[in-house]
Structures are given as C-alpha cells and as structure tokens.
Structure 1
Amino acid sequence: MRTIQFISRLLVGLLFIFSGFVKAVDPMGSTYKFTDYFIAFGMDALKEIAFPLAILLSALELTVGMALLFNAWRKISAWGALLFMVVFTPLTLVLAISNPVSDCGCFGDALILTNWETFGKNLIILIFTLVIFFARKNDNKSYPVWKQNILISFTIIFSLWISVYSYRHLPIIDFRPYHIGANIAEGMLIPEGAAADEYTSLFTYEKDGIVKEFDETNYPWQDSTWTFVDSQQIKIKDGYTPPIHDFSISNDYEGDITDRVLNDETYTFLFVSKEISKINNDIIAKVQDLSIFALEQNISFIGITASGQSETEEFKSNHEIPFEFYNTDEIQLKTIVRSNPGLVLLKKGTILDKWHFNDFPSSNELKGDLAAYTITKHQKLNIKLILISITSTLLLLICLFVLLTQARTGVKNRLQL
C-alpha cells in the first residue's frame, strides 16, 4: 500500500508541477483561455478576473504539486489535489460534450490535448488522487514543519515571480509556434501524405410531405418520387493542422503581402498590436524612434493589427506614425507575441527576436549588425536563465535530499522494530 501511495504522490505531484509551471511561464496564454471559456459560457462579466485567476491557478497547481512530491503539508495537499480533480474532472466532461473551446489549455501551449483526451487524463489522475487522499493519515513520516514551510514558501514565491516576470517581459520559455528561431513559412506547410479533413455529405429529400435526410450510401437519386431539397457537407474527422495557420498580412490598399514579407531577404520589423486603442502612449516615442531608424537603414517596418482601418488611420495621424498598418487575425497576433504592442524582427520568414513593449530597444542599440545584436542579447538572457535554473535545481535537490533522508530513517526504524 505504501508503494502505491508513493507512486501516486510522485505521478500526481509531477503532473501538477508541470501543469502549474507551463501556465506560470505564460500567464497571458492562460488569461486568453479563461476569457474564451467565459465568453463561450455567456459569462462575459468575469473577463476582468481572467488574469489574476490565471496567476492564482498556476501558483496553486505548482504548490500542490511540490507539496505532494516532497510529502509536505500532507493533509492540506491531499485535500487540494482532490478539490482540483473533483472540480475539473466533471468540468472537462462538460467541455468534451459541448466543445466550446477545442483545447482545454490545461498544459498551456506545451502540450495540446483535445477535450476528450483531457477528460480521460483527469479520470486516471483522479484514481491516483483518491489513493493519496484516503491514505493521507496513514503516513506518519514527517520532517520539521519549518522545513515544509520553507518549501511551500519558496514554491509560491517562485511561481509568482515567474508569472510576473513573464507578464512584464515575455515568457521565459516559449512553447508557441512563433518562438524565436521558428520560420513562419515552414510552420504553415502541410507535410506530404498528411491526413486531410474528412467530410460526409447529407442530402435532404421530400416525398408526400415527409422530409428525410440521407447520406452518400442511400440517397434516392434514381427515385423520381423523391424531390431534392438541400445538401450539406459535415466534417467527420479533422486532418493535419499545421502549427501556424490563418496567418496573413493584408490591407485594402495593397492586398495580401504575406509572401512578400516572409520571403524578404533583408530584415523586417513587425510592430504587433491586437488592439491599437490599448497602446500605452508612453512608448509612442520609442516606436517613432525605431521606425525612423528602420527607414533610414532601408529596413522594412510595418504594423500588423486586428483593429479596423479607421482606428489605425486615427492612431497614425494622432501620433505621426511613419509606417503602414496591415490586418492580421487577432488570435494569431496574441500567439505571436504576448504583449500589446510587441515587436518582432524577421529575416526571410525566420523570427530572429521578439520584444515586449517594456523592453523595446533604442535605435542606438540596433546600430550595426542586427544579427550580432540578437545573438549577444540571447546569450545574456541564456546566462540569466541558466543561473535561475541552477539555483532552482539546487534548492529542489536539497528538498529531495531531505525527503530521501527522512524515508531512509523511517525504513531503518521499522527494521529495528
């Protein structure tokens, strides 16, 4: 029984840690997902709490997962895991049946599951969670409360720090198809031999006042006593969907310029804004500086937005913006960069760099070789992430050492008895 309990704690704990972490590094992704659910269920008024709810959920998941993994706060963590599963298991069943949003978002963009896959996963995890819950009083092994409190406090602070940092800058780990180094054109390709969408045709016929539907195998096309009324095609199976789809850049004046942008041999700056009306005026000076620099260096600088033409024209006029705006699907814009506005540097369709509006570079920083600048920037960022990873790993190893020490002591005590 103790072995089953240990395995259950390990599996559920790791799952909660993974789920909480991938949400913590991308709080805006979870915010968008909560907003989609609120809209789908007619609860638009709750959209304002989507962001704090996203941060709270990731922190709770990560904390419960760490507590389970290291056997801290046993009763509280067992209750926490059970409440999570009792709430989300029936909820995912409702989502699987109604399918208001195709992806539940339980693992962010790191792992995409259908609603039925999520429900099946939750059923399995619920079984392990019940094992943990009913055995919560049987395990007498423990270590000092202050050590447990340090572990839990570290987890909460770590989760909140990652979420706030990723919100104020960009996700420290980018699981989306528009990550740095990705080629947009290649992400839109459908591999040869990939499965295509499958459809079936339904035919409506009428006879003697009776209307009846038929499929392709039995419709009465040779029976003149039936009168054809209507036909429709229904998708019965999804085919392969490329990582990047519905991406296009166009406006009313020039039409679609997607291929031109993605095949440009030189650099291209994309000024990305899903909602122009929500751009902070404090960064306008930086945007003007960057766009003028690009024009002087003969580098393309264009804006892509989901806002309407009149809104973009008003924005350009009010702020003396020297570049053109084009329309792109709002979902794609939110996926490209978790910032409004954001900045993306392309070269022949490959994303070389991305910036949150808090981190927009000055024109002086970009003078010289742009490729060398981005490499240096990423090297500095990687050093920071490595230091953070090493520190976090050491702390976790210390916690794991404490856990194993306690377990070994418990085994020795039982053998002595």
Structure 2
Amino acid sequence: MKIYRRIASFLVIALFLFSGFIKLNDPIGTEIKLEEYFDVFSKDFRFMSGFWEALIPYSLIFSIGLSALEVILGVALWAKYKTKKVLWILIALITFFSFLTFYSAYFNKVTDCGCFGEAIKLTPWTSFSKDIFLFLLLVSLLFTDLPKINKLSFKTVVFTAILSISFGVYSYFYLPIWDSLPYAVGQNITKNMEQREPLKFQYTYKIKGKVEVLNEMPMDTTAEYISMIAVNEKEARPLITDYKIWVDNDTTDYTKESFKGNRLLVIMPNVNHAYLNALEEISIIAKELEQKGLPTWLVSAASNEEITNLRHQYQLSFPALSADTKILKTIIRSNPGLVLISNGTVKGKWSAYNLPKTNEIVESLTKVQE
C-alpha cells in the first residue's frame, strides 16, 4: 500500500504541476479557452446566460488563478501539507474539469479543452479519460495511510503560491517564455500553412460479395465502392489554416504580400483591452524603421472608426489592415504586440510592455535561429 501511495501521489503531483505550469506560461491562451466555455454555456444554459456572460471579463483572472491553484495543490501534496484537505480540494477541482471535458466531448462544443495549453493538444474524450483516471487516483489515496504534516510545508506552499502567480503575471505582460504556437520566433508562416504530409486514404469496397478495407483502390473492375476516408487527416492538416490579412473594399491579397521581404507588424486584436500608451513609442519606432527601409503595418480586428481615431491620436503614419481577432491573439499574446517577419519567417516578437529599440529590431533580421 505504501508503494502504491507513492506511485499514485507522484502521478497526481506530476500531472497537476505540469498542467499548471504549462498554462501559467501562456495565461492568455487559457483565458481564450475559458471565454469559449463561458460563451458556450451562456448559449446552452440560457436561464443563466447573464451569469456566464458576467464571467467573461474576468477570464484572465480565472486563468491565472486556476492554473496557479493546480501548481499550489500539487506542491502541497508533495510537501505533505494537510494532505486529506488537499486531496478533497483536488477531487473537487478534477470533478469540475471532468464536467468541462465531458461536456466538450459529448456535445462537441469546444474541440480542444486546453488542459495542457497549446503545448499538448488533447481531444475532449482523451482529456475526459485523463480526468477520470486522476479522479480515481485521488479517491484511492484517501484510503491509504496519509503522511503526517511537514513543519516546513506551510512556508513551501506560501512560497509556491507567490511564485506561481508571479510567473503567470510575468507571462501575461512579457509574453510566454516557451512559445509553442506556430507563429513562434523561427517559425515560417508560409511553411506552416502547407499540408504537413500527403493524405493517405482507406477504401472500403465490396468484392465478390465480401466487404474489404484496402489501402489502395482495387484493380478488380467489378468491385463495388462503399466509402473512402483519410486515415491521417489530423497529421496532414497544416499548423496554420486561418491566417488572412485584408483591407476593406480592396481586392489585393495582403496575406501573400505580408510574406514579401521584411516587415514589422503591429498586432492589435482590439482597442478596448489594449495598452494604448505603447502606441506613442511604437509610432517613433515605425518612423525610425521607415528611414532604414523597413515598413510597418498595423493589423487589427478593430473597426475602421476606432483605427482612424487611433492613427490620428497617436500619429500612426503606417498602413492599417484587418484580420480576425482569434488569429491575432494566436500570433502574439500581447495587445498591442510587435512581430518582425522576414520572407514569411518570424524573426522577433515583443510585448507592448517590453518594446525594443530600433537597432534591436534590425539586428533580429540577421540572427540565426537555433
């Protein structure tokens, strides 16, 4: 029983720590996922729509809070701090997660639960199975001999709480330390928009009265076709499927244009939640880059009126283009944020709270990515 408790505790601790740290590294990613859930619940549970809609503005707080709680509880279990109470809290938490993943899987509402952020994508049913496995482990631990409280455990838990929340806040203001998105520095956007491997098909035919599943089309001309499916659709699907940049009432394909030469993109998903004070410095940076022959684009999902007002207020002399909000939030976890592109390859990314000097941007063009 002692060996089982150690193995079960290790698995629980490892999974909660990994899940929590991965999401604290990218709190905006988890925020987006929570907004999806709240939006779905507001439509599916209309009698509580006001409640779910009221939670949406606080998605970031829930993102950092829940992710930090996973880490804190994992460390508390490791440090033997009030183990029984910690186990009950973990059971309550995993029950909540199980509801989310089951709802996603059964009703096909949110196709990626975000359990491990963008680093590891699980299908809803896989996530639900993982949650049930954890639930059973946690319940079983209640029936083992629980360890005594460690005298230093409280200080360890408090230190972990401060550290984990600080890490989440830092990642929010200064971008994720580990960028696992297809727009990370060093990634080529055009390449990530291509099919990753050739599609492979499985054919079902009725041959001489017998149903057969084949990897190639049969040579028998009397074979009766039944169905055909792609067996590697997920593996072949491009990493990027929705990247598109446009200008209203303009037929020019600015998506392809954005991959030509060197270009600095000022990404702004919306105006309401943007750190607008950064635009003054961004305007200066853009003018200095223009003198060096490096163009700047503002790419936003804001309305034309909002962009016109911003350009006038902050003296933004560079072109303004449009893109979908979700794409812009995926490109960079900052609003606004700077993304340097050279022939489709991302050469640099900067948060609005950590803007670079002009020379740093120019030097990034010549850096060789590891």
Same fold (TM over 0.5): yes
Q: How does 1:263-274 map to 2 (within 5 A)?
A: 263-264=260-261, 267-274=262-269
Q: What does residue range 137-216 of structure 1 map to in structure 2 within 5 Å?
A: 138-140=145-147, 142=148, 144-145=150-151, 147-194=152-199
Contact 1:104 1:114 (C-alpha < 8 Å) held by counterparts:
yes
Contact 1:103 1:115 in 2 (8 A): yes
Q: Which runs of 4+ in 1 moved over 4 A?
A: 195-198, 235-239
> Take 1:3 and 1:19, find their aligned partners in 2: how far apart are those partners?
24
Match of 2:7 in 1: 7
Deviates more, 1:12-21 or 1:297-306: 297-306
Counterpart CA distance in 1 for 2:8 and 2:167 is 27
Task: Read off the aligned partner of 1:246 and give its amino acid letter.
Answer: D
> Considering only aligned residues, what root-mean-square deviation do their CA atoms show, in Å?
2.8
Q: Residue 346 of structure 2 aligns to a residue in which SS?
A: strand
Among 325, 334, 344, the alignment partner of 1:339 is 334
Over 3 Å counting, the alpha-carbon distance change for 1:76 and 1:196 in structure 2 is farther
AA partner of residue 335 (structure 1) = T
Aligned-partner SS, 2:142: helix
- Which residue is equivalent to 2:217? none
1:74 pairs with 2:75:
no
Task: Name the residue aligned to 2:142.
Answer: 133
| Structure exhibiting the larger radius of gyration computed from Cα positions | 1
Aligned length: 337
Aligned to 1:276, what secondary structure does the other structure show? coil
Asked if structure 2 preserves the Cα contact closer than 8 Å seen for 1:197 and 1:237, the reply is: no
The amino acid of 1:260's aligned partner reads E
User: What per-residue deviation string (whole Å, max 9, x for no partner) do you get for residues 288-312 of structure 1?
Assistant: 1011112111112111111233332
CA distance in 1 between counterparts of 2:316 and 2:202 reads 43
* Alpha-carbon distance in 2 for matches of 1:90, 1:340: 32
For residues 189 and 66 of structure 1, do their structure 2 counterparts lie closer, same or farther at Cα, with a shift above 3 Å needed?
A: same
1:95-121 CA deviation, whole Å, 9 max, x = no partner? 211122111111111111111111111
Please state how far the C-alpha of 1:359 moved relative to its aligned partner: 0.9
TM-fit CA distance, 1:68: 2.4
Unaligned runs of 5+ in 2: 43-51, 204-224
2:292 to 289, 297, 301: 297
Shift of 1:154: 2.0
Alpha-carbon deviation of 1:177? 1.5
User: CA distance change for structure 1 residues 186 and 257 in 2, over 3 Å: closer, same or farther?
Assistant: same
1:37 aligns with 2:37: yes
Normalising by structure 1, we get a TM-score of 0.74
Q: 1:367 Cα shift?
A: 7.8
Distance in structure 1 (CA, Å) of the matches to 2:14 and 2:78? 7
Q: Distance in 2 between matches of 1:327 and 1:47?
A: 24
* 2:106 matches 1:101: no
Q: Distance in 2 between matches of 1:154 and 1:356?
A: 27
Instruction: Answer yes or no: is 1:250 the counterpart of 2:255.
Output: no
Structure (1 or 2) with the greater helix fraction: 1
Where does residue 394 of structure 1 map in the other structure? none
Cα distance in 2 for partners of 1:190, 1:53 equals 36
8 Å Cα contact 1:22/1:107 also seen in 2: yes
Distance of aligned partners of 1:237 and 1:175 in 2 relative to their CA distance in 1, 3 Å threshold: closer
Say whether the 8 Å CA contact 2:80–2:149 is kept in structure 1.
no
- State the partner residue of 1:383: none
Correspondence 1:369 to 2:366? no
SS of equivalent to 2:280: helix
Is 2:283 aligned against 1:288? yes
